[in-house]
Structure formats: C-alpha cells, structure tokens
Structure 1
Amino acid sequence: MADLSQLKKIINKMVDRIAHRPTIPLDQQLWDEHDIAAYFGYSLDYTKKHIMSHRQFPPARMLPTKDTYVPRWKASDVTKYAMAFDKQTISY
C-alpha cells in the first residue's frame, strides 16, 4: 500500500507541473537542435548532418549568452520547412 501512496504523490506532482506550465504558441517557440531532432524523429547526429545542413533549412537566430551565442530556430519556420516537402516544389 505504501508503494501505491508514493506513486500517487509522484503522479500528482507531475500533473501539477504540467498544469502550471504556460502554453507557448508554436509561432513564439524557439527550438534548439534537440527539439528539432525530436520533431523529425531522428537522432541529433542525423538531424545535424542531413536536415539542418540542407540549403533551404531556416536560418538560426543567434541568441546571446554570458560568453557566447547559442543558435535557436523559430519552431514555426522548422515546421513550415518540413511541410514544404508535401508539395511538388519546395516553397520555404
């Protein structure tokens, strides 16, 4: 019974975290390389070599950090790029 009680507590904490997390619209989300790989369902290595290196893949926005810059992509740009392959010609 103690295991079931502990499991319920963990599930309730998870539900609370999800319920209190703000929903950010897709057109306002910024994705990193891991998010892009997860969206396409490929490994990070494959995504970098074969998806993100494509000449028509959307450009990254370089966001400043303390010492350097990190690339981030607008999620809606990435999804538009992916959906462009439904058409006969790429129109990204």
Structure 2
Amino acid sequence: MKAPAAPPPPGRTGVGAGHGRDALFFADDGFTAQITDSSPIGLDQLRPAAQTAGLVERLTTTVHDTRHGTRSTALHGRRGRR
C-alpha cells in the first residue's frame, strides 16, 4: 500500500518585495509565492532568475501603485488590469 502524499507547503505572500530574492528562496523550497511591490522594475528583473531556476509557475507578482490602481503580472506571461 502506497503512503499518502504529503500536502503541498502553504503559499507565501510578500509586500514590498523589490527584486524578489526572498520569493525565489521560498519557491525553491517548494512554496508558492505571491509578491507585491509598487515598482515593476524589480519585479520584472525577477523573471529571468525565476526562469533560469525553473520556478516561474510557483511565483506570481503584483504591481500595486495606489496612484494608478493595481496591475497583476504572473511571471509566466499573463498580464492584465484588474
């Protein structure tokens, strides 16, 4: 009889994530990570690192700027306004 699979680790959320180094660490440990920052520049720099590490599907970024609303960007290419 096969042992039951362990439940997946819970997700992590980061606010003010900058370049997303912490999110990469958690994703590499098996967590999913949803991170938010007011600047898209740092979050966009996360994309190549996540692709190289094979972690794109575990990370979702959100650019939140209270002056212009919220724009969600998943690392695997989906972009859109909420």
Say whether the fold is shared (TM-score over 0.5). no
Which structure shows the bigger proportion of residues in helix conformation?
1
TM-score range, shorter chain: under 0.3
Give the number of the structure whose residues are more often strand, by fraction: 2
Larger relative contact order (CA 8 Å, sep ≥ 6): 1
Q: Which has the larger radius of gyration?
A: 1
